[in-house]
Structure formats: C-alpha cells, structure tokens
Amino acid sequence: MATLRLFASIREAAATSSVEIDASTIGEVVRVASERFGPSFGELVPTCRVWCNGEPAFADDPVGPDDEVALLPPVSGG
C-alpha cells in the first residue's frame, strides 16, 4: 500500500497526517482518500500539488507499496 501524506488544511480536513491506501495509480490514491475523508477533503484536492517520492506526480502515474504520495495545498505566510 502507498503511504499518503497530508499537510496543512487538507491534513485538518482528514484529521490525520498520513494513511495507507491500496491503489495502483496516483489518481486512484486521491480518489480513495476523497471517498474516505468526505466532501470537505474532496473540495481541497483540486487546489493541491501532488508529489510522489519527492517528485511532481500526475493522476496516471503508477504507485507501488513503497511509494509515498504527498498532497500539498497552497500555503501563505509572511
């Protein structure tokens, strides 16, 4: 299972910072997480950058059991 890491507002929407998801593509990881964590999580997903093992990732990219997928929402600061 791939590990999905969540940060900032999307972590708050899921009420967890990581979860193991059984999926074969990045898109499937995101879809399963959206189904699991509900509408408020799903609304944030389109604003997020998706990374896999420290590299930008796309929906059709494959994932394996040792992969780490990260959802990074936009952040502001100063």
Residue 48 in domain? yes
Asked if 48 and 58 touch (Cβ cutoff 8 Å), the reply is: no
Per-residue confidence (pLDDT) for residue 78, from 0 to 100: 61
The domain total for the chain is 1
CB 56 within 8 A of CB 50: yes
Q: Which domain holds residue 32?
A: 2-72
Which pTM was predicted?
A: 0.93
Q: For residue 77, is it within any domain? A: no
Whether 67 is in a domain gets the answer yes
Whether residue 78 is contained in a domain is answered as no
According to the model, what pLDDT value does residue 42 have? 96
Longest dimension (CA), the chain: 38
Q: How far out from the chain centre does Cα 75 lie?
A: 16
pLDDT confidence of residue 29: 98
CA proximity to 30, closest of 11, 45, 10: 45
CATH number of the domain enclosing 62: 3.10.20.30
Look at residue 75 in the predicted model and tell me its pLDDT. Answer: 79
Chunked into runs of 10 residues, the chain (78 residues) has average pLDDT values of: 97 98 98 97 97 98 97 82
